[in-house]
Amino acid sequence: MKIRGRLMIAFLIMTLFPIAITLLSTQIILSRQREMLNHYYNITSENTSTIDILANPFNILHNITFEDYRRLKKVVDSNPDKLLDKKFLATENARLQKKESFLIVVENGSYFYIGSQKGLEKLSYLPLTNEYNQKYDYVTCIDHKSSCLIKEASFFFSNKTQGQFFIVTNYSKLVPRWTASIREMVIAFLIILLTTAIILVLWIYESIVRPINILRIATMQIGQGNLDTPISSTSSDEIGQLCHDFDEMRIRLKDMIEKSIASDENTREIISSISHDLKTPVTAIKGYTEGIIDGVADTPEKQKKYLQTIYAKANDITYLIDELSLFSKVERNSLAYNFIPVNLNDYFTDCISDVSLDLESKNISVEYINTTDKATNVLVDTEQLKRVIHNIIDNAAKYMDKPKGHITIRITDVEPVPAEPPLYRQIKDDGTDLIPQSPPEEFVQVEITDNGPGIDEKDLPHIFERFFRADASRNSSKRGSGIGLSIVKLIITEHGGEIWAESEKDAGSSFYFTLRKETLQDNKEIGGSYE
């Protein structure tokens, strides 16, 4: 669940949950209040409402004896002398006492009937009057000191004397219950708020804070160099995605560090290897030079032989220095390219002529086969591509184990792959494309095959990796830095082509790479040709 969804749920929990539980608890508390009203004042739930119990409790007090008051008022209006019948008054008073109330009748300013003497003594105020006022023939008042509600009605008896009756209701038992109910509702509301807060805190901690803490600990571990501990997160929200991305970063960082360590180790190994290889020709040069100086080479023939050896060893040193220089450029990714269109057949003929004499001296023959159009041009960097060809041929000659070696260079056309049509085409009024599709690129394939010892099947997938050497012994007679084929792959890739190899043990190896043909647009932009 996304964080926005969690926040919406949290908002609903903070609002709806407390409201719903508060309403439920209020309903329970008010139900108990109704039971209390029914117990003390004989009022059923039909005569009370939740709003009155909560907002206007004195309206309930008024309604407790309202029907009794109306009944007595009708008696007064029809037969006022009936209120001089003490038997009738006792019956009415007995009915009122079931509602925590009692009746008082006053005749001409004097008490005629008192339903409860103790109740009367508690009253601090009773609205007795000596004059009848038609405007105020009905009075309701509250005696706060005695906690009583008083209903009064004035009238005249048949003998023209003034009379009054009072219905006094004791609400002293009701007020504490109202106070307790309010206190219970406040406590319930606070408990509901506290429970809601605890639920939200636990939920937010489990869904947000805990993953953040896991991420913080993982950050500290990464800062301390520990990249082996995975960052686990089961959530699918933004924080879970952040943990996943952070773990991906940890994996990539670990791979980068491992590659950097491996590269440093390979760098140290190649420098150590080249340094070791440099000692051999330097030692030989020193030895032969001392032989000439000391007069050991006392004949012209010996001197010539010594000088030729010194020259050969100097060439070895030059080769090793070139390897170091090339290695430095590879490390900085600073190999420069100058692409120009050249004639494919002429270029390869010249390259083969450069290496043919050296190969013949090693008893290795070269066969050149070109089935492409002789006018085919390719867009290449001539120096870098020559490095590719020489490197592959030199490797074949270096590891040749046959008395008569053979290398075949075959160039063929590659069937062009048509480009996929665009999803949307913009067409002119005449039906032609507004943006014409560029023609598919055309390539040629170069295959260099030898009949050498071949490459082990386990080594074949790694031969284009930097610093990979199938023969890692420093004492091997086959000099090499292990970066030659990786440079070859880099150069071909920069040319927009592909390179791969096939090999069969003890039967030979075949290296394939593709070169992009020159297009008319290339010729317009660059121009020129190779001669």
How many residues would you count in the chain? Answer: 531
pLDDT band at 486 (very low <50, low <70, confident <90, very high): confident
pLDDT at 441 over 90: no
pLDDT band at 518 (very low <50, low <70, confident <90, very high): confident
Residue with tokens 């066969």: 367
How crowded is residue 191: how many other Cβ atoms within 10 Å of its Cβ?
12
Give CB contacts under 8 A, 24+ apart, made by 275-283: 276/474, 277/316, 277/320, 277/474, 277/479, 278/317, 278/320, 280/313, 280/316, 281/313, 281/314, 281/316, 281/317, 281/320, 282/313, 282/317
CA angle 343, 345, 348 (to 5 degrees): 100
pLDDT at 24 over 50: yes
Separation CA 110–CA 72 (nearest Å): 19
Which neighbouring-strand residues pair with 409?
Answer: 368, 448
Separation CA 438–CA 414 (nearest Å): 18
pLDDT at 48 over 90: no
pLDDT at 392 (0 to 100): 92
pLDDT at 263 (0 to 100): 72
The DSSP secondary-structure symbol of 433 reads B
Residues 375-400 have a mean pLDDT of 90
Q: Which residue has the higher pLDDT, 396 or 43?
A: 396
Separation CA 325–CA 313 (nearest Å): 18
pLDDT in tens, 250-305: 888 888 888 788 777 777 777 777 777 778 888 888 988 988 888 887 888 888 88
Separation CA 246–CA 243 (nearest Å): 5
pLDDT at 56 over 70: no
Nearest to 246, CA basis, from 211, 219, 209, 206: 219
Helix (H, G, I), strand (E, B) or coil at 304: helix
Residues 50-67 have a mean pLDDT of 67
pLDDT at 427 over 80: no
Exposed e or buried b per residue across 440-463, where buried means at least 16 C-beta atoms within 10 angstroms of its C-beta: eebbbbbebbbbbbbbeeeebeeb
Query: Which tokens in the block code for residue 373?
Result: 């159009």
Helix (H, G, I), strand (E, B) or coil at 338: coil
Whole-angstrom CA distances from 99 to 54, 91, 149, 173 are 20, 14, 12, 11
pLDDT at 53 over 60: no
User: Which distant-in-sequence residues (6+ apart) come within 8 Å of 161 by Cβ?
Assistant: 107, 108
How crowded is residue 288: how many other Cβ atoms within 10 Å of its Cβ?
21
Give CB contacts under 8 A, 24+ apart, made by 45-52: none
Residues 56-65 have a mean pLDDT of 72
- Would you put residue 58 in left (φ > 0), alpha (ψ -120 to 50) or beta? alpha
Secondary structure (DSSP) of 366-378: EEEEE-S-TT-EE
Residues 509-524 have a mean pLDDT of 80
pLDDT at 2 (0 to 100): 62
pLDDT at 331 over 60: yes
Secondary structure (DSSP) of 343-367: EHHHHHHHHHHHHHHHHHHTTEEEE
Separation CA 290–CA 296 (nearest Å): 8
pLDDT at 474 over 60: no
Asked if residues 153 and 76 have their Cβ atoms less than 8 Å apart, the reply is: yes
pLDDT at 165 (0 to 100): 92
pLDDT at 22 over 90: no
pLDDT at 185 (0 to 100): 77
CA dihedral over 376, 382, 388, 392, signed as positive or negative: positive
pLDDT at 529 (0 to 100): 42
CA angle 184, 189, 194 (to 5 degrees): 125
User: Which distant-in-sequence residues (6+ apart) come within 8 Å of 151 by Cβ?
Assistant: 62, 65, 69, 138, 139, 140, 166, 167, 169
Asked if residues 406 and 521 have their Cβ atoms less than 8 Å apart, the reply is: no
pLDDT band at 344 (very low <50, low <70, confident <90, very high): very high
Give the best-scoring range by mean pLDDT among 76-80, 201-205, 299-303.
76-80
CA angle 321, 325, 330 (to 5 degrees): 145
Asked if residues 489 and 461 have their Cβ atoms less than 8 Å apart, the reply is: no
Separation CA 37–CA 20 (nearest Å): 26
Which neighbouring-strand residues pair with 154?
Answer: 164
Residue 26 is which amino acid? T
Helix (H, G, I), strand (E, B) or coil at 228: coil
The DSSP secondary-structure symbol of 427 reads B
pLDDT at 41 over 80: no
Separation CA 250–CA 229 (nearest Å): 9
- Dihedral of CA atoms 50, 53, 54, 55 in degrees, nearest 10, equals 110
pLDDT at 519 over 80: no
How crowded is residue 255: how many other Cβ atoms within 10 Å of its Cβ?
11
Q: Which residue has the higher pLDDT, 342 or 357?
A: 342
